[in-house]
Amino acid sequence: MKVSVKTARPGESRAEGLVIGAFEGALEDGDFGSINKSLGGRLADMAKRRKFEGKEGQLLAFESLGALPAGFVVAVGLGKKEEASQEKIRFASGKAARAVKASGVKSMACSLARVAIPNVMAAQVAQAIVEGACLALYSFTQFKKDSDPLRLEEIIVLAREEEQEEAAQMAAGAEKGRLAAEAVAFARDMINMPGNYATPSYLGAQAQAMGKKYGFKCVAHGPAAIKKMKMGGLMGVAKGSSEEPRFIVMEWLKGPKGQKPIVMVGKGLTFDSGGISIKPSLNMHEMKSDMSGAAATIAVMRAAAALKLKVNLVGLVPTAENMPSGSANKPGDVLTGLSGVTMEVLNTDAEGRLVLSDALAYAAKYNPDCMVDFATLTGACMVALGAHCSGLFGNDDELIAQLNEAGKRTGERLWPLPLFKEYEDDIKSDVADIANIGPRGGGASTAAAFLKKHVKGKWAHVDIAGTAFADKEKGYIQKGGVGVGVRLMLDFIARRAGLE
Ligand code: BES
Ligand code: MN
Ligand code: ZN
């Protein structure tokens, strides 16, 4: 996507498509009002006829037939002005961009950053416009012979004509949005890619390709090294599959010397059949998305490097395929992880915590500032929260609060869930240090308690089981891989490292 910022009135824009915003009940204000004037009041008449009042998500689209330089115009409702936010702009921009694309034009000017929003800087609005549009226009067509021929190739973010300095800040915001959205699309591609293509070795190769392209260090360890490092959890899960596991280590250490790194860890099950404790077949194909945490981690490394963030950042991805076979883990088997903790595998479908345990133990080697893991870990978390937020756990209140705030800003909302001592008692084993499942209730918390046993230092765990893969289109999210966690972590990292 070509992205730029120009200081111009929307009525002067040369782009083929034009997006203007309107706050609820304030159609006479701003660009909607001025375009209405230049159209002799006919826009307001049309709005009245079609009941367009500027309510959140409302669209009013029309061909201008020569009355304006832009041939196709979409007015989008922004809701109540006092409730405006970056996320609402992202949502509106995405919705409008879809409508503009459907009209067949190739370029779009967007004037949503020309209205002042309380407490949000123009640069952040520009970023939200670009993110919303790019994310909404994403599609995964690699395996389709006939795909949508329409292409929207250029977005021009319009700035207030008298504000040159603000326009420069907006250009930086727009570029940030473009790189973040590209990274999310990259994560979505890996998630949507079928399991027979997106194998652990494929994820390793993707990470290495990104490292080479953007300049971060990347090593994808194979089974021999994984065994040598004594990663019994990862090896135990992987041994039921003919696909080799990988342990991917990515380093972007461009922050101040001596500043402890932030470590991001992502669960990378490229397919989770459940193993010997096999899953029911209904919707089992969606378990190709069980590497969504891994995809987010590789994408964050890519974006951090592309943005040249002055931070110390490490990404760790344990990746394997969970399959039933003659060499697979059996219920009752005991594995010894890198942390030395022995783990009884009572259910081979609780495999995510086994592979994560080794990555979390490995993270200690960096003496990190903090570590944050992203994992499609439990159906229980999905049952508790649905698709509207991810579950958040951790052992440090400040870290939890910072992630929560980043979630609000990016629209990738989190909700805290408990990690009481009792959940740790729930995973006692008769034969090993811990068991990989607890009693029937509290599955998201017992899974988090399992992870905690392998952690040294400040840590948070984000359960994205309900948010990683969408079953329907929603705002700027498509059906399929969401890429959740990428923008959240980019926002969190920049603030945690003191860049913003
Ligand atoms: N990958 C699944 C969790 C999951 C389920 C993610 C649905 C997204 C959608 C995980 O490996 C799993 O199977 N968890 C089990 C744990 C149970 C056996 C304790 C679960 O949640 O059922
Ligand atoms: Mn599983
Ligand atoms: Zn899984």
137 pLDDT above the threshold of 90: yes
Give distance in angstroms: CA of 252 to centre of ligand 3: 28
For ligand 1, atom 14, name the residue with the nearest CA: 378
Does the beta carbon of 266 sit less than 6 angstroms from any atom of ligand 1? no
Is the confidence at residue 334, as pLDDT, over 90? yes
Q: Where are the alpha helices (DSSP H) in 198-287?
A: 200-214, 223-228, 232-238
Q: CA angle at residue 197 from 191 to 201, to 5 degrees?
A: 90
Q: How far apart are CA 314 and CA 49, in angstroms?
A: 55
In angstroms, what is the span from residue 287 Cα to ligand 1's centroid? 9
Percent of the chain exceeding pLDDT 70 equals 100
Contacts by 285-289, CB closer than 8 A, 24 or more apart:
286/469, 287/195, 288/191, 288/193, 288/194, 288/195, 288/198, 289/191, 289/376, 289/468, 289/469, 289/480, 289/481
d(CA 12, CA 69): 7
Do the bridges between strand 59-63 and strand 17-22 make them parallel or antiparallel, or are there none, so unpaired?
A: unpaired
* Integer Cα distance of 307 and 387 in angstroms: 29
Q: What confidence score (pLDDT) does residue 115 get?
A: 81
Distance CA 141, CA 149 (A): 11
Q: What is the pLDDT of residues 82-92, one digit of tens each?
A: 999 999 999 99
Give strand pairing partners of 247.
Answer: 221, 318
Which residue shows structure tokens 């309900």?
Answer: 466
- Are the C-beta atoms of 452 and 357 separated by less than 8 Å? no
pLDDT of residue 391: 99
Structure tokens at 394: 């951790």
104 by DSSP, 3-state: which? coil
Least confident of 5-19, 313-327, 388-402: 5-19
Q: Measured between alpha carbons, how far is 235 from 156 in angstroms, rounded to an integer?
A: 49
**Pocket flag, ligand 1, residue 347 (CB < 6 Å):** yes
- Residue 400 near residue 416 (C-beta atoms within 8 A): yes
For 141-273, strand residue ranges (E) read 154-159, 217-221, 246-253, 262-266, 268-272
Active site residues: 279, 353
429-462 tens-digit pLDDT: 999 999 999 999 999 999 999 999 999 999 999 9
Half-sphere exposure of 8 (CA within 13 A, CB side): 17
C-alpha torsion sign, points 382, 385, 391, 396? negative
The predicted pLDDT at position 124 comes to 96
Please name the residue whose Cα sits nearest to atom 5 of ligand 1: 379
Task: Return the structure tokens found at 215.
Answer: 């300049």
Q: What are the DSSP E strand ranges found in 284-395? A: 312-322, 333-336, 342-345, 370-375, 390-394
Model confidence at 490, pLDDT cuts 50, 70, 90, reads very high
| Mean pLDDT across the chain | 97
Note the pLDDT tens digit of each residue in 364-405. Answer: 999 999 999 999 999 999 999 999 999 999 999 999 999 999
Closest residue to atom 22 of ligand 1, CA basis: 379
The 3-state DSSP class for residue 247 equals: strand
| Mean pLDDT of all residues in 406-420 | 98
Cα–Cα distance, 95 to 82 (Å, whole number) = 21
Residue 104 CB partners (closer than 8 Å, separation 6+): 150
Task: Name the residue among 181, 182, 189, 165 with its Cα closest to residue 90.
Answer: 181
Statement: residue 117 has pLDDT above 90: no
Which of 140-149, 220-229, 400-409 is predicted least confidently? Answer: 140-149
pLDDT score of 119 more than 90: no
Radius of gyration of the chain from its Cα atoms, rounded to whole angstroms: 24
Structure tokens at 80: 């109540």
pLDDT digits over 243-271, tens only? 999 999 999 999 999 999 999 999 999 99
Residue 96: per-residue pLDDT = 98
In ligand 1, which atom is closest to the CA atom of 438? Answer: 19
pLDDT at 162 over 90: no
- In sequence order, what are the beta bridge partners of 266? 374
350: Cβ below 6 Å to ligand 1?
yes
Share in percent of the chain as helix, strand, coil (round to 5): 40, 20, 40
* Ligand 1 within 6 A of CB of 272: yes
pLDDT, mean of residues 238-245: 98
